[in-house]
Amino acid sequence: MRKRIYEVISASNGHDTLSSVYDFFMMAVIVISLVPLIFKKSFAAFEIIDKICVAVFILDYLLRWATADFKFSDPSAVSFLKYPFSPMAIVDLVSILPSLTVLNRGFKILRILRMFRALRVFRSFKLFRYSKNARMIANIFKKQKEPLGCVLLLAFAYILISALIVFNVEPDSFNTFFDAIYWATVSLTTMGYGDIYPVTEIGRVVTMVSSIFGIAIVALPAGIITAGYMDELGKISKSANDESEEE
């Protein structure tokens, strides 16, 4: 019985109809649970929606915890101790906690979590578990984590160095170092909001050089992700052809 539950709640491979239905149902619940975040005001209907959705999330969390030994292929109790610390389990828990106050208004400690209403956005990350397209994107980032990590490090170094330079060559335009960091980040993305900007010639020269390097740095992740995407499409196409030949 537990094994069948695990097969249903696990990501569908397309061959298990009940598992596919469960995935679709969970994706629908996740999307519906995010609807109240679109509005600033809270309505009674939203509270009902939140109660229903969080009840579904709690049940899903408990079922996954109860079948953790199948997930880790380890029948020992270690699997059940390990599961709450797995990445997706943490996402599940964080997406549930802010809504627990609607279940019992008496828990004053849990009321504090209402301040972190935005944490419900973490529910969107749950889609990576149920959507094939989302899982493919996650696989791309996972496989390309080393080159993307290098680009991230390069971007961080660029922001820090640019901020240090402009903060020292034009101190009158930047009141704090954080302002310089903000300016460097905006320059990296070449968005240029114009709320903070250099006014001296040397400051403008730094801005021009910074923008040119920023374009190059921003273009790097696009190439890496595109290459990873093409590799994933190739694997999917090959897998589909192999299944057709077997049939």
Tell me how far apart the alpha carbons of residues 10 and 245 are, in angstroms, rounded to a whole number.
27
CB contact at 8 A, 132 and 20: no
* Residue 176, pLDDT score: 86
CB contact at 8 A, 124 and 72: no
Domains (ranges, CATH) in the chain?
A: 2-130 (1.20.120), 145-246 (1.10.287.70)
Two structure tokens written together for 65: 């915890």
* Residue 109, pLDDT score: 47
What does the radius of gyration of the chain's CA atoms come to, in whole angstroms? 24
Tens-place pLDDT, residues 76-90: 788 888 888 888 888
Q: What is the DSSP string of 99-116?
A: GGGGT-TT-HHHHGGGGG
Tens-place pLDDT, residues 157-206: 888 888 888 888 888 888 888 888 888 888 777 676 777 778 888 888 88
CB contact at 8 A, 69 and 80: yes
Sign of CA dihedral 16, 22, 28, 31: negative
* Residue 59, pLDDT score: 92
* Residue 62, pLDDT score: 92
Give the predicted TM-score (pTM) of the model.
0.57
* Residue 12, pLDDT score: 64
* Residue 14, pLDDT score: 63
Q: Which residues of the chain have pLDDT under 50?
A: 102-116
Number of neighbouring beta carbons within 10 Å of residue 137: 16
